[in-house]
Amino acid sequence: MMDGNIAECDLTRPWRDGGRDAIGKYRVGHINHSIDVDFALEAKCKIITSGSTVKETSRLISRLRHRQFGIFVTTSYVADQAYQEIIEDDHPVIIISGMDIVEILLQHGINSKETLSNWLESNFP
Protein backbone atom coordinates (compact mmCIF):
# COMPACT_ATOMS: atom_id res chain seq x y z
CA MET A 1 0.00 0.00 0.00
CA MET A 2 2.88 2.36 0.71
CA ASP A 3 4.64 2.12 -2.62
CA GLY A 4 3.71 0.38 -5.87
CA ASN A 5 7.40 -0.18 -6.69
CA ILE A 6 7.73 -2.90 -4.08
CA ALA A 7 7.96 -5.92 -6.37
CA GLU A 8 8.35 -8.59 -3.67
CA CYS A 9 8.07 -8.78 0.08
CA ASP A 10 8.48 -12.13 1.82
CA LEU A 11 8.13 -12.62 5.55
CA THR A 12 11.01 -14.39 7.25
CA ARG A 13 10.48 -17.09 9.83
CA PRO A 14 9.90 -15.84 13.37
CA TRP A 15 13.17 -17.25 14.72
CA ARG A 16 16.72 -17.16 13.40
CA ASP A 17 15.63 -14.55 10.86
CA GLY A 18 18.96 -12.73 10.80
CA GLY A 19 17.42 -9.63 12.35
CA ARG A 20 14.90 -9.13 9.57
CA ASP A 21 11.15 -9.62 9.59
CA ALA A 22 10.89 -9.53 5.80
CA ILE A 23 13.07 -9.27 2.73
CA GLY A 24 12.06 -7.97 -0.62
CA LYS A 25 12.82 -6.28 -3.90
CA TYR A 26 12.15 -2.67 -4.86
CA ARG A 27 11.77 -1.99 -8.58
CA VAL A 28 13.58 1.07 -9.95
CA GLY A 29 12.97 2.22 -13.52
CA HIS A 30 10.03 1.60 -15.81
CA ILE A 31 8.24 -1.44 -17.17
CA ASN A 32 10.65 -2.14 -20.05
CA HIS A 33 13.90 -1.27 -18.29
CA SER A 34 14.16 -1.71 -14.56
CA ILE A 35 16.33 -3.19 -11.87
CA ASP A 36 15.36 -4.70 -8.55
CA VAL A 37 17.12 -3.49 -5.41
CA ASP A 38 17.08 -5.74 -2.34
CA PHE A 39 15.75 -4.50 0.96
CA ALA A 40 15.40 -5.84 4.48
CA LEU A 41 12.50 -4.90 6.72
CA GLU A 42 12.30 -4.85 10.50
CA ALA A 43 8.96 -4.23 12.22
CA LYS A 44 8.28 -3.32 15.83
CA CYS A 45 4.79 -3.35 17.32
CA LYS A 46 4.91 -0.90 20.21
CA ILE A 47 2.53 1.23 22.21
CA ILE A 48 2.46 4.88 21.18
CA THR A 49 4.38 6.02 24.28
CA SER A 50 7.31 3.65 23.73
CA GLY A 51 9.72 4.59 20.95
CA SER A 52 12.12 2.32 19.09
CA THR A 53 15.68 2.71 20.33
CA VAL A 54 19.19 2.62 18.90
CA LYS A 55 19.39 -1.06 19.86
CA GLU A 56 16.42 -1.87 17.63
CA THR A 57 17.43 0.25 14.64
CA SER A 58 21.07 -0.91 14.90
CA ARG A 59 19.94 -4.51 14.60
CA LEU A 60 18.50 -3.81 11.16
CA ILE A 61 21.42 -1.63 10.08
CA SER A 62 23.98 -4.25 11.06
CA ARG A 63 22.19 -6.87 8.95
CA LEU A 64 22.08 -4.82 5.73
CA ARG A 65 24.14 -6.29 2.92
CA HIS A 66 26.03 -4.51 0.16
CA ARG A 67 23.66 -2.57 -2.14
CA GLN A 68 20.71 -3.24 0.16
CA PHE A 69 18.55 -0.73 1.99
CA GLY A 70 16.43 -1.11 5.08
CA ILE A 71 12.86 -0.33 5.98
CA PHE A 72 12.17 0.13 9.69
CA VAL A 73 8.46 0.00 10.56
CA THR A 74 7.14 0.85 14.00
CA THR A 75 3.60 1.34 15.26
CA SER A 76 5.03 4.04 17.52
CA TYR A 77 8.00 6.32 16.79
CA VAL A 78 11.79 6.18 16.53
CA ALA A 79 13.54 7.77 19.50
CA ASP A 80 15.55 10.95 18.83
CA GLN A 81 18.99 9.37 19.32
CA ALA A 82 18.20 6.44 17.02
CA TYR A 83 16.81 8.76 14.35
CA GLN A 84 19.79 11.13 14.58
CA GLU A 85 22.26 8.25 14.18
CA ILE A 86 20.47 7.01 11.06
CA ILE A 87 20.54 10.50 9.53
CA GLU A 88 24.02 11.57 10.65
CA ASP A 89 25.64 8.28 9.62
CA ASP A 90 23.75 8.33 6.30
CA HIS A 91 22.36 4.81 6.72
CA PRO A 92 20.14 3.70 3.81
CA VAL A 93 17.07 3.23 5.99
CA ILE A 94 13.49 4.32 5.41
CA ILE A 95 11.47 4.85 8.58
CA ILE A 96 7.73 4.23 8.65
CA SER A 97 6.25 5.36 11.95
CA GLY A 98 2.81 4.88 13.46
CA MET A 99 1.65 8.20 12.01
CA ASP A 100 2.87 7.16 8.56
CA ILE A 101 0.87 3.93 8.88
CA VAL A 102 -2.25 5.92 9.76
CA GLU A 103 -1.76 8.23 6.76
CA ILE A 104 -1.25 5.28 4.38
CA LEU A 105 -4.42 3.60 5.65
CA LEU A 106 -6.41 6.83 5.31
CA GLN A 107 -5.17 7.33 1.74
CA HIS A 108 -6.66 3.92 0.93
CA GLY A 109 -10.03 4.65 2.51
CA ILE A 110 -9.39 2.72 5.72
CA ASN A 111 -10.72 5.32 8.14
CA SER A 112 -12.51 3.46 10.94
CA LYS A 113 -12.05 0.42 13.17
CA GLU A 114 -14.65 -1.39 11.09
CA THR A 115 -12.97 -0.76 7.73
CA LEU A 116 -9.61 -1.67 9.26
CA SER A 117 -11.00 -4.94 10.68
CA ASN A 118 -12.60 -5.80 7.33
CA TRP A 119 -9.36 -5.02 5.46
CA LEU A 120 -7.27 -7.10 7.88
CA GLU A 121 -9.69 -10.05 7.68
CA SER A 122 -9.75 -10.01 3.89
CA ASN A 123 -5.96 -9.65 3.49
CA PHE A 124 -4.73 -11.76 6.42
CA PRO A 125 -7.25 -14.56 6.98
- Please write the tens of the pLDDT for every residue from 4-61: 889 888 887 665 555 578 899 999 998 789 999 999 999 999 998 999 999 999 999 9
**Distance from C-alpha of 76 to C-alpha of 88, rounded to nearest angstrom:** 22
85-112 tens-digit pLDDT? 999 999 999 999 999 999 999 999 999 9
Contact assessment for residue 27 and residue 33, using Cβ atoms and an 8 Å cutoff: no
Cα of 100 vs its chain's centroid, Å? 10
Range 6-123 classified under CATH 3.40.1350.10: yes
Q: Is the pTM of this model over 0.85?
A: yes
Helices in the chain by DSSP H: which ranges? 54-63, 80-88, 98-107, 113-123
Domain boundaries, the chain: 6-123
Contact assessment for residue 97 and residue 74, using Cβ atoms and an 8 Å cutoff: yes
